[in-house]
Chain A
Amino acid sequence: MSVTRINVGPIHPSTHGVIRLVVDVDGDTIVNVEPHAGFLHRGVEKLAETRMYMQIPPYTEKLDYVAPMSYDEAYVAAVEAAMGIEVNEKAKYVRTVLLELQRIASHLLGLGTLCNDIGQMFTVFMWTFKDRDIVLDLLQEATGSRMFYVNMRLGGMHAELPPDFAEHAYNTMNYIEKRVSQYETYVEKNTAFMERMRGIGVLSSEDAKALGVAGPVLRASGVNYDARKHSPYYMYDKFHFNPKVMLTGDNFARYKVRMLEMKESVRIVKAALKAMPEGSCLGMPVKLRSPNPVNRTVSVSRELPRGECMMYLVADPQKPYRLSIRSPNMVNLAAIGHIAKGARFADLFGILGTLDIIMGCVDR
């Protein structure tokens, strides 16, 4: 049989950024997929070496522009670890709440674009974007910005939460919980959706471990690993929650893990709001001179919406000597050749949708 080579992208008419895939197909069956990254490369790690410590969050948060706060927090946590700064008690709760809200917003976008990718154009997309906007409103209330926040300071936050935030957040979480259940019902009763999800793009747990995939993709393959649970930070060990694991490792499992995670996030937000202590959550104001680092080399691991990220920071006085980022999107994208092998060509975009990659983070 002859193998045809098809070029997909880099202007892929979808929602995952500029990615180029070179696909070898035999008839309609994929023989090989080779992702080409680098169309969005702008040298974040190199730029970080020329900036002062607290000038860098605006750069790191543009890595994953669907969940900016998570990267913001991961970087600030690395700097805190390098400088030996303790996060104050209330800020821990506030960060937990905001990070989980960000996770919900990110997964909602993921669901909407996934449904676009497999051809259910714009119905679910419209719904999830409406709900995402509601969550973003909440984040805007807390931080003052809609998309890029830069609200983390060393040891705390840049401002207190508004007085009625807890009530708004609680109401919104009730609403989101209801909506997520509705999405599950709508989407999973749709035969076309299920046909394109079940049993397609299977990644076994051995392969998932060997390829080093991260986050929901890893958990969908039956590996019970979540950095929030297994190397807990902030308040995650205080609240009862379980990493959501599916065993099948197919498209459906990856979709379902995200839906279950959203419900779990809702629970965590509610619990954190209930347990939030009194007092101030303010951190150190941004000053020209930051405190000198006490640890030269730190590595911080965080569970972002798309998987586990590691920030490796070699600290010099005033600015990083080296900042290295382990991006979960990069490893998830690299696995696509393995996952898509043997699938139909049309299913490639379903698989890409369930991997839910963000090219800004892949290319850095």
Chain B
Amino acid sequence: MADEIDHGSEEFADARQEMDQLVYDSLKSKEMKPNAMFARLSDLAKSAKMSRTAVTWARKNSLWPLQFGLACCAIELMDFGSSRIDAERKGYLLFRGTPRQCDVMVVAGWVTKSMVPEIKRLYEQMTEPRYVIAFGECATCGGPWWQSYNIVKGIDEVLHVDVYVAGCPPKPENLFAALMKLQKKVGGSIED
């Protein structure tokens, strides 16, 4: 998907500028005009040239993670959603209980062999496009358990991972950075 968007093109720049202007105006006037905004957005989406840009713009600004945690890093994931970091102010963290409504799966914790079928199944239930963040050492490479008999050495042995986060556990701020990186990737400014 990412390779289809030409970021240097004028169309892209114009569409993005117009969308930003729409949002800016509606915020500035202090009275949201969602109808006008969405009408214009859908116009943009209807035109064949713009549809990719409009969809990408919408997609990258509404990344919904799956409410799913495995181990220690899930506690930091909870902290990420709580008051100090408050990820929801950036639009990231509308934790959903069902994978069918989600875009991002944050694999937070060690992946055991018995969890692999479950994680695969969750991933397959997510609608495309879907993204995976390997959060912490264990999900990245097995972490301290790499010699254990029941551990998968990183979730990337099972799924395609988009962003890796290092740390044991990473600080909640690191997940913020990871999601910003993922946004760039969804927007197409970072290659896979």
Q: Which residues of A come within 8 Å of B, CB atoms?
A: 10-11, 13, 15, 17-18, 38-43, 46-47, 50, 58-59, 62, 65-66, 109, 125-127, 129-130, 132-133, 146-148, 359-360
Q: Are A109 and B75 in contact (CB under 8 A)?
A: yes
Q: Are A65 and B71 in contact (CB under 8 A)?
A: yes
Q: Which residues of A contact B147 (CB under 8 A)?
A: 47, 50
Closest residue of chain B to A65, judged by CB? B72
Q: Are B169 and A147 in contact (CB under 8 A)?
A: yes
Contact A11:B112 (CB < 8 A) given known A46-B149, A58-B144, A62-B144:
no
Complex CA gap A148/B138 in Å reads 14
- In the complex, per-residue mask of B33-61: 1 if CB is within 8 Å of any chain A CB, else 0: 00000000000000000000000000000
Complex CA gap A42/B114 in Å reads 10
Closest residue of chain B to A125, judged by CB? B82
CB neighbors of A among B65-110 (8 A) = 67-72, 74-76, 78-79, 82-84, 97, 109-110
Q: Are A18 and B70 in contact (CB under 8 A)?
A: yes
Nearest CB in chain A: distance from B118 CB, A:
6
Q: Which residues of B contact A146 (CB under 8 A)?
A: 171
Q: Which residues of A contact B141 (CB under 8 A)?
A: none
Nearest CB in chain A: distance from B31 CB, A:
28
Cβ of B145 within 8 Å of any chain A Cβ, yes or no, is yes
9 smallest A-B Cβ distances: which pairs?
A: A129-B82, A65-B72, A13-B97, A130-B83, A126-B83, A42-B148, A42-B145, A43-B148, A133-B84
Q: Are B114 and A47 in contact (CB under 8 A)?
A: no
Q: Which residues of A contact B74 (CB under 8 A)?
A: 15, 17
Q: Are B70 and A148 in contact (CB under 8 A)?
A: no
Q: Are A42 and B171 in contact (CB under 8 A)?
A: no
Range of interface residues on B (Cβ < 8 Å): 20 to 34
* Residue from B84, B118, B148 within 8 A of A10 (CB atoms): B118
Q: Are A66 and B75 in contact (CB under 8 A)?
A: yes
Known: A42-B151, A148-B72. 8 other contacts (CB 8 A): A13-B67, A13-B97, A39-B115, A43-B145, A50-B147, A125-B82, A129-B83, A133-B84
Cβ of B122 within 8 Å of any chain A Cβ, yes or no, is yes
Nearest CB in chain A: distance from B108 CB, A:
11
Q: Are B82 and A147 in contact (CB under 8 A)?
A: no
Q: Which residues of A contact B23 (CB under 8 A)?
A: none
Nearest CB in chain B: distance from A88 CB, A:
29
Q: Are A11 and B122 in contact (CB under 8 A)?
A: yes
Q: Are B112 and A42 in contact (CB under 8 A)?
A: yes
Cβ of B127 within 8 Å of any chain A Cβ, yes or no, is no
Q: Are B71 and A15 in contact (CB under 8 A)?
A: no
Nearest CB in chain A: distance from B12 CB, A:
38
Cβ of B150 within 8 Å of any chain A Cβ, yes or no, is yes
Q: Which residues of B contact A360 (CB under 8 A)?
A: 71-72
Which residue among B70, B72, B79, B169 has the maximum number of chain A CB atoms within 10 Å of its CB?
B72
- In the complex, per-residue mask of B9-23: 1 if CB is within 8 Å of any chain A CB, else 0: 000000000000000
Q: Are B168 and A17 in contact (CB under 8 A)?
A: no
In the assembled complex, 30 residue pairs joining A and B whose CB atoms fall closer than 8 Å, in A order, are A11-B68, A11-B118, A17-B71, A18-B70, A39-B112, A40-B71, A40-B109, A40-B115, A41-B114, A46-B149, A47-B145, A50-B147, A62-B144, A65-B72, A65-B75, A66-B75, A109-B75, A129-B78, A129-B82, A130-B83, A132-B79, A133-B79, A133-B82, A133-B84, A146-B171, A147-B72, A147-B169, A148-B72, A148-B168, A360-B71
Q: Are A41 and B84 in contact (CB under 8 A)?
A: no
Complex CA gap A16/B79 in Å reads 14
Closest residue of chain B to A129, judged by CB? B82
Nearest CB in chain A: distance from B13 CB, A:
39
